[in-house]
Amino acid sequence: MPEAPLRGSVVFLTLYDICEEIHLPQVREILGLQPAGREPSFKHTAPEYVRFEQPPVVESLEEIRLAAGDRVGGRIKYYDYGVAVIEFTLPFEGGWQQLVDLASRHVAGFEIERFASQIARERVACVAQALVKPYENWLSEDYFIFHISEIPGNPPAAEIFRDHRNDIAQIVRGEDHPLSEAERSEIVQSAMSYYPGDLVVVGWNGAFLYDTVAGGEATLQLLEYANSQLLEFRYYDEVLTQRLKRVYQLLDRGTGFLARWRLARAAARLYTLLLDVTELTERTDNSIKFLSDMFSARLYRLAAAKVGVPDYKELVDRKLRTADNLYRFMVEQFNQSRAFALELLVVVILIVELWFLFWPIHVK
């Protein structure tokens, strides 16, 4: 007797950092959408414990057909901190090996990414008026979520984890060959469950989720949010790297008297960037609130750690500290030059006054 199939879906996320800020009410107006409705309900019975400060605007997309003939539905989400997310959902029904094969084919492929890039450019152009300081070049991130909502017999998560540990590890990594025991152990350490019948295993480029459709909605949202934060901190890191590089080049030209005067403008630009990045990072950090939902908070921290958010945030914080030190140094150099110039001016004025004071004597 053939094995009863698993049922669920594969969610493909492609995230783009498109601008500094998106005016969401204006996006809704342009697209003719209603104001934001209910946010995803979380595991606890009090969903208000986890909330978005400004829930993203969601626009449905037309289905697309992949090369293999599969049809995937999609939607695009606009976040107020300048991120647009293309989400494609591919229904799945089959066995564990089929899911492993599907994961290895799509995680390593570029077909979904090409579709997503084309659609993102088209849809973002339609809401261009709502974008603040749009970027010409977009940073992007991809993430894959393999969501199984039905398994024959509804086995508990512990049983699934025991019997299909190797399959889950391959799915999360997108590998078509079995992994080493050390690698499997590293992957399964990222497993979490809230009820006996749900399971999520998080990796750096993909996740396995066993939960009902309704129960998995919030987990999908948290995984998406963690990746959007990674994208934002990657952008901040790149901007700071480029600005610090220009500052170092300016300092390499020397800190002579005239060169120090040029530091004032560069210091002002550096400090403005420092304030802008600090404000943007705080806004990104505060865009979702975990008031009492400790499971969702732990799940978010796990997802953020796996995709690399803390690492990039530390890089940004370190470069912000470096920028602050450089700003202080540049201002100090400029102030020294200004003080020297003022002292020199005082001396010149004193010499002129003395000259005119004693000049009549010389004339007589």
Mean pLDDT value across the chain: 82
pLDDT in tens, 8-35: 999 999 999 999 999 999 999 999 987 6
* φ/ψ (deg, to 5) at 142: -115, 145
Per-residue pLDDT, averaged over 275-299, amounts to: 71
Helix (H), strand (E), coil (C) string for 165-202: HHHHHHHHHCCCCCCCHHHHHHHHCCEECCCCCCEEEE
DSSP letter assigned to residue 291: S
Alpha carbons 152 and 308: distance in angstroms, whole number: 35
pLDDT for residue 360: 60
For position 284, what pLDDT does the model report?
66
CA distance 145 to 218: 13
User: Could you give the percent of the chain with pLDDT greater than 90?
Assistant: 36
* Confidence (pLDDT) at 48: 45
pLDDT given for residue 44 in this prediction: 47
According to the model, what pLDDT value does residue 207 have?
95
Which of the pair, 271 or 16, is modelled with greater confidence? 16
Task: Find the range with the poorest average confidence among 15-24, 37-46, 355-364.
Answer: 37-46
pLDDT at 46: 40
Who wins on pLDDT, 5 or 86?
A: 86
The pLDDT of residue 188 is 81
Average pLDDT of the segment spanning 232-252: 83
Q: Which residue has the higher pLDDT, 265 or 182?
A: 182
In the chain, the N- to C-terminal Cα span, in Å, equals 128
Cα–Cα nearest to 203, from 297, 106, 303, 300: 303
CB half-sphere exposure, 32, CA atoms < 13 A: 1
In the predicted model, what is the mean pLDDT of residues 349-364? 67
pLDDT the model gives residue 290: 60
4-8, 127-131, 256-260, 309-313: which range is least confident on average? 256-260
pLDDT of residue 83: 95
Q: What is the pLDDT of residue 269?
A: 73
Q: Find, among 86, 60, 81, the residue nearest to 131 by Cα.
A: 81
Among the residues of the chain, which ranges form H helices?
24-31, 96-107, 111-126, 157-163, 165-173, 181-188, 213-252, 257-285, 294-307, 309-363
Q: What percent of the chain has pLDDT over 70?
A: 80
Domain boundaries, the chain: 6-215, 227-354
Question: Residue 104 above 50 pLDDT?
Answer: yes
**pLDDT tier for residue 334 given thresholds of 50, 70 and 90:** low
Q: Are 216 and 295 in contact (CB under 8 A)?
A: no
The confidence band for 59, taking pLDDT boundaries of 50, 70 and 90, is: very high
Question: In the numeric block, which tokens belong to residue 112?
Answer: 């979904």
Nearest to 158 by CA among 85, 81, 210: 210
**pTM exceeds 0.85 for this model:** no
pLDDT at position 77: 96
User: Within 13 A of 265's CA, how many CA atoms are on the CB side?
Assistant: 6
Tokens of 324: 């602050």
The larger pLDDT score, comparing residue 245 to residue 306, is at: 306
**Amino acid identity for residue 211 in this structure:** D
Is the pLDDT assigned to residue 321 strictly greater than 90? no
